[in-house]
Amino acid sequence: MLKITECPVCGGKIRKVKEDWIGEYQGQKYTVPDLEYYICELCGEKIYSPEAMRKIESYSPAFKVAEPVG
């Protein structure tokens, strides 16, 4: 887990949240349930741990393996 206490953008206080996260790839929306990440209370910047990024990638259609042709 990340050991970060202030926003790298504005220096504001960040807090950890756990919620359903909605992304979009090429017009296709998808939901990542119960994603833990950090958000700045001042500017809204979102900060994702490597674990959170792996979870996003596992749900994203951008990382789906294409079916072989032929």
| 10-residue averages of pLDDT along the chain (70 residues) | 84 96 94 97 95 96 74
pLDDT at residue 61 in the model? 92
Please state the φ and ψ torsions of residue 14, each to the nearest 5 degrees: -110, 155
Considering its fold, how many domains does the chain have in total? 1
Q: Is residue 40 part of a domain?
A: yes
Q: Which of 38, 44, 36, 48 is nearest to 10 (CA)?
A: 44
Q: Is residue 67 part of a domain?
A: no
pLDDT at residue 3 in the model? 78
pLDDT at residue 64 in the model? 82
For residue 40, give its domain range: 14-62
What predicted TM-score, i.e. pTM, was given to this entire model? Answer: 0.80
pLDDT at residue 66 in the model? 64
Q: Is residue 2 part of a domain?
A: no
